[in-house]
Structure 1
């Protein structure tokens, strides 16, 4: 779907992906129509313009008020300097209509005369009788369009692609594949029923009675009631809610100022999210008593809160805290009980049960994961406010990529499985997500590492580096790359898995990660051409797709399939190599894409070095007479010790020869031999943990669990 184009006022023009038809969406009223807006037709024809005036409106997604100019059709979050409450044209009750906001599910009311919208039921408004309902016109289905970085606060609805064509999960038909809102499945979360069944007779009120400071009233500290201390208060507290040491109690008061500042319960010159980052920056490494305090403060401020906007923001704050750190074990069940009691609370709006359910399902999740390392990015915070997901780009070795949605609680291991499922891979075990820098340094993500925590880390590094080097300086950048980590055998029926293995193997061959002869490289290049272009067109026919010079390498395009070390400086030599590739290619006619991939893999699997992960290390056993620095090459066959200069194999240990292994923060050790004689070899390396993990994975696959 193309990006929305603003055409005037609050209207944007879109193109429906399934039909190619243009449609129009109003970013304020949430209307969408196939017909060009009447009000724009009038304005473009020189019709009378409304009086220049601003009106204040409420954005359902953020809970913030924004300002709309009836003359210019501009919208802004900041109160205009010339803002004055607009005089509303007279309108009757019949001019109001009820609508459902697609992003929040709430009912709001829209006046067809004044163009106002309100969450409150207009005085005298009566819902039209179902028996008198006018026939509905066929309109495009509405879905939410993500808000762009602009001054317009209201997201625009757009028609869904009713008959959108499905792209191949193997990435063959499209460079990009858009993620859907349910990319990160909630299946990994426990159900509300399962969680609430474990609450038993625990209540938040009993927690308040046991742990809150109830003696807090007046000169003699008379005791307040549980109901009063745990309900909304439109003034600052004078002491912490929980029994805290003096130093933490003072921090608790500042935390409450930020809680009420974000919720709008007190005036503040600071941006709302500024209060959030202030809370998180002080609590990320704080003792759990202070973290419990902020959860209790939020519960207090959303409980019996008469203001809908304040309540929305309070629940947003609850979700944000649950994305960053867990409550203590003593508060976990009482906090769950508090949220469970709000599942049927619609006094403050339909959104309360939705936020409560979302929170309930994340409480045990964050409790298992523990606190994160980094403060969420602005993008993540905005998504959390809506209980929504964040889209991340996942790259592949052939420069293709997919867009996948994830959330604050998704780990790398879960995400690996998700991407594999999205691609149609049967067994996700061999594949992993890597962090790859612009300096070509890579690191496999730890299984329990949270994706969005890493994104926050990248952003912080970028900010710090720009601050040190200056805005225009080149800084290190990072990306996620999904590729093969463990070179297990993949079933021939797993087409997506075979494609990933082939992509990894062909990339490694062309990049000369494996030593191979010129003839090997030519044969493999011919298989790549067959895989990519299909059968040879026949004698005398030209390959238009392969003509010319590649702009990146400066070599003929066919040379891209050859190992880089065989690139020749002379044109004659290059043409000779190309002719040899074409000659071999002609003999492969009849090979399907899958057969070409399998043949390629069969060829490289015969190499002793195939599928190796390389690690530089320093042997510590002088008796073995290894060089001072070697390369450990580990693959599914075993451990190879390679001379980094001559590429000679100095020693080979199959996994049948490996008795045991281990690692420390700066070493890897392996014990080889048999029952009668064993040799322990120490290697100095800062990659011991990853070496240990790979050896363990291969041993368990080849030899069974050990």
Structure 2
């Protein structure tokens, strides 16, 4: 609040961490924070100090409530100062925090930036896979699941099921847990990223991050059923997997898809047909580029493109999805790992995670080496350099050990699919019990 000279220069976030950090961990300190802020605001005639005091109290009311014994005094303090711009908002936040779980971490920089501008509305940019973004209002007590519902509603999606919020930092893409508060999740990730960067680079660091909204679980996805989801999410998320050569496809299918992708790129501009040889990397899977000569690709793609003459770009994107949907690898997440368990398998294998379970694939021949449904997995774990799983029973199961830096992603994805199936089974049991009654 600036009433006493600071011993050293600190950022506003350092100050709020110092004030609220211990209280988010220890409930017994929360009343002390409320008392100290209100005490310092009593008979305080310094406008600058009071402005900061109200900002601190606003943050405090959104993080955790005071105890029942202090609650009446806090409410009276706020009600007696109703003329203050932030007083009624503090009261609302206080009422809200009484109904919610307390926050686990101190305020995020975004919250601090907003209140320092005396803005009680907080907005955050959310990116989508089709290279667009939108700004959404996110409150102090907004949970990830609330934000998912809000985004789905605004985008007019048929369902929010299977979608997730992701945070991308300089070296990781992390999926956020539905039940967590948005700003607690952000704080946790940016703090962890700061810590690892500080160790690596030395000295204080600034962490850049982006928030994405994407499909995570590919179930109940039928191309053409929800065009908005197809165009914004399914097409841009499936296209890179196709071009990396993860699917098994015939020459005829590849020519048809290449013509669709060409139409998506140039629409009805036939003058661009001459550029097909230069565009092949954007039209044909990487491992199939040499299946025909450039001229043959051009000739066959041109013929297929002419057959699709009446198609729009949007229709071509849905047609691409319908073509890929026929393959068992549609909607899979693919991971290249080094395995050290199976002598019969190559050292490097490709693991595909889908709603069916885990499929181990030969990366060159694309032959399926093994299928493991989720109910065959006894357990799994991951670290910064590995992913391990036990197939069969815990006692007599077979261990499958992998070296990978993406173990955390595999772990999270498998856990999410298993949780989804358990939730579905529980819901079905509840429905059956009601029916029996």
TM range (shorter): 0.7 to 0.9
Which residue is equivalent to 1:442? 173
8 Å contact kept, 1:619–1:683: yes
Choose between structure 1 and 2: higher helix proportion.
Answer: 2
Q: Using a 3 Å threshold, how does the CA distance of structure 1 residues 704 and 444 change in structure 2: closer, same or farther? A: same
Matched, 1:280 2:17: yes
CA distance in 1, matches of 2:282, 2:339: 37
String of CA shifts for 1:496-546, please: whole Å, max 9, x gaps: 122221222223212333343444332112223345555x46xxx524xx7
Distance 1:618 1:371, change over 3 A: same
1:668 aligns with 2:389: yes
2:366 alignment counterpart: 647
Q: Tell me what 2:53 maps to.
A: 314
Shift of 1:586: 1.2
- Alpha-carbon spacing, 1:671–1:605, altered in 2? closer, same or farther (3 Å): farther
Between 416-425 and 300-309, report the one with greater CA deviation: 300-309
Map of 1:597 onto structure 2 = 317
User: Does residue 1:337 correspond to 2:36, yes or no?
Assistant: no
TM-aligned CA deviation for residue 279 of structure 1? 5.0
Find 1:411's aligned residue among 121, 143, 148: 143
**Higher alpha-carbon deviation: 515-524 or 662-671:** 662-671
Assess if the C-alpha contact under 8 Å between 1:312 and 1:351 holds in 2: no
Residues 364, 316 of structure 1: CA spacing in aligned structure 2 closer, same or farther, 3 A cutoff? farther
Q: In 2, Cα distance between the equivalents of 1:455 and 1:547?
A: 48
C-alpha displacement of 1:408: 3.8
- Aligned residue number for residue 20 of structure 1: none
The 5-angstrom pairing of residues 596-635 of structure 1 reads: 596-615=316-335, 630-635=349-354
8 Å contact kept, 1:525–1:581: yes
Separation in structure 1 between the aligned mates of residue 278 and residue 57 of structure 2, nearest angstrom: 59
8 A Cα contact 2:245 2:288, kept in partner: no
Following superposition, the deviation at residue 487 of structure 1 comes to: 1.3
481, 488, 511: which one aligns with 2:219:
488
Which residue does 2:282 correspond to in 1? 560
SS in 2 for 1:652: strand
Shift of the 701–448 alpha-carbon distance from structure 1 to 2, 3 Å rule, reads closer
Report the equivalent of 2:432.
none
- CA displacement at 1:584 relative to structure 2: 0.6
Look up the match of 1:697: 420
Shift of 1:587: 0.8
Local SS of the residue matching 2:254: helix
Q: Which residue of 1 aligns with 2:433?
A: none
Residue 217 of structure 2: SS of its match in structure 1? coil
Q: Which has the higher contact order (CA 8 A, sep 6+)?
A: 2
* Structure 1 pair 699–363 and aligned structure 2 pair: CA distance change class (3 A): closer
Distance 1:388 1:271, change over 3 A: farther
Distance 1:505 1:455 in 2: 27
Which protein shows a greater Rg?
1
Q: Secondary structure at the match of 1:284?
A: helix
Aligned positions, number: 411
Q: Which runs of 5+ in 2 are unaligned?
A: 430-437
Change (3 A) 1:431 1:421: same
Q: Give the whole-Å Cα distance in 2 for the aligned partners of 1:704 and 1:631.
A: 34
> Where does structure 1 lack aligned partners over 5 or more consecutive residues?
1-261, 550-554, 673-677
Q: Deviations over 1:248-292 (max 9, x none)?
A: xxxxxxxxxxxxxx1x5x342579974762352365246332343
C-alpha contact (below 8 Å) 2:257/2:320 kept by paired residues: yes
Does structure 1 residue 542 correspond to structure 2 residue 277?
no
Distance in 1 of aligned mates of 2:396 and 2:250: 34
Partner of 1:579 in structure 2?
Answer: 299
Other structure's SS at 1:394 match = strand
Q: CA RMSD in A?
A: 4.3
Compared CA separation, residues 481 and 413, structure 1 to 2 (3 A): same
How far residue 381 of structure 1 moved from its aligned partner, in angstroms, is 1.0
Residues 1:298 and 2:29 aligned together:
no
Query: CA separation in 2, counterparts of 1:476 and 1:381?
Result: 16
Structure 2: how far apart are the matches of 1:662 and 1:467? Answer: 32
